[in-house]
């Protein structure tokens, strides 16, 4: 069983660097992510997509040490309820997540704009029966500093289910 998990993880890591022909679903932590067709994505955009998947898994593990290497120290954001947050406040929100919660991310798009990369997507929180309990759209802004890509800003907007 463990060898299958290792093989699946290796395949998913490799998939970030190989253009996909069609959308696929992967599970990262508590989140099922519908990956976009990356045929036209740059190598950087595919790398950012991999970081987004790893981010979901790190949130589920409550791995703030890993997340601190993704979210810039000067990170600022707005969560879906309109509250402004810095990195510490965001990590506090992540630590409050219910370990039984399940999410989906779809409508995922990565745009490589040179010195900046943006990620937009739709996040759905699922109820116990798999029904959509809440929905939001989000934007992550990455910039390259110190030889790595950092999330420097993020915004979430709550929307009506199906919106």
Q: Look at residue 163 in the predicted model and tell me its pLDDT.
A: 63
CA 141 to chain CA centroid, nearest Å = 12
Higher pLDDT, 163 or 62: 62
pTM above the 0.95 mark?
no
User: Taking all residues of the chain, what is their mean pLDDT, rounded to a whole number?
Assistant: 86
The DSSP bridge pattern shows strands 84-86 and 71-78 to be antiparallel
Domain ranges for the chain, please list them. Answer: 2-159
pLDDT above 50: residue 62: yes
Q: How far apart are CA 110 and CA 127, in angstroms?
A: 28
pLDDT of residue 18 exceeding 90 = no
d(CA 142, CA 70): 9
**Cα–Cα distance measured from residue 107 to residue 70, given in angstroms and rounded to the nearest whole number:** 22
Task: Give the mean pLDDT of 144-152.
Answer: 95
Which of 29-38, 73-82, 145-154 is least confident?
Answer: 29-38
Q: Is 140's pLDDT higher than 50? A: yes
Res 136 pLDDT > 60:
yes
pLDDT band at 45 (very low <50, low <70, confident <90, very high): very high
- How many percent of the chain have pLDDT more than 90? 66
Per-residue pLDDT at 137: 97
- Cα–Cα distance, 140 to 58 (Å, whole number): 16
DSSP per residue, 74-122? EEEEE-TTS-EEEHHHHHHHHHT--TT-EEEEEEEEEEE-SSEEEEEEE
Q: The CATH number of 2-159 is which of 3.90.950.10, 2.60.40.4070, 2.40.50.100, 3.10.450.50?
A: 3.10.450.50
Angle at 79 between CA 85 and CA 96, to 5 degrees: 80
């Amino acid at each position: 069983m463990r060898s299958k998990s290792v093989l699946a993880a290796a395949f998913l890591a490799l998939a970030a660097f190989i253009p996909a022909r069609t959308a696929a679903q992967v599970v990262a932590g508590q989140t099922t992510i519908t990956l976009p067709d990356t045929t036209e994505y740059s190598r950087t955009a595919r790398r950012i997509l991999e970081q987004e998947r790893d981010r979901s898994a790190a949130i589920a593990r409550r791995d703030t040490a890993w997340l601190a290497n993704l979210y810039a120290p000067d990170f600022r954001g707005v969560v879906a309820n309109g509250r402004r947050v810095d990195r510490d406040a965001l990590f506090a929100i992540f630590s409050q997540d219910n370990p039984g919660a399940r999410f989906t991310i779809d409508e995922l798009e990565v745009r490589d704009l040179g010195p900046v990369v943006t990620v937009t997507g739709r996040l759905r929180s699922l109820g116990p029966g798999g029904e959509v309990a809440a929905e939001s759209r989000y934007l992550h802004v990455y910039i390259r500093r110190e030889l790595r890509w950092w999330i420097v800003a993020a915004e979430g907007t709550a929307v009506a289910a199906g919106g």
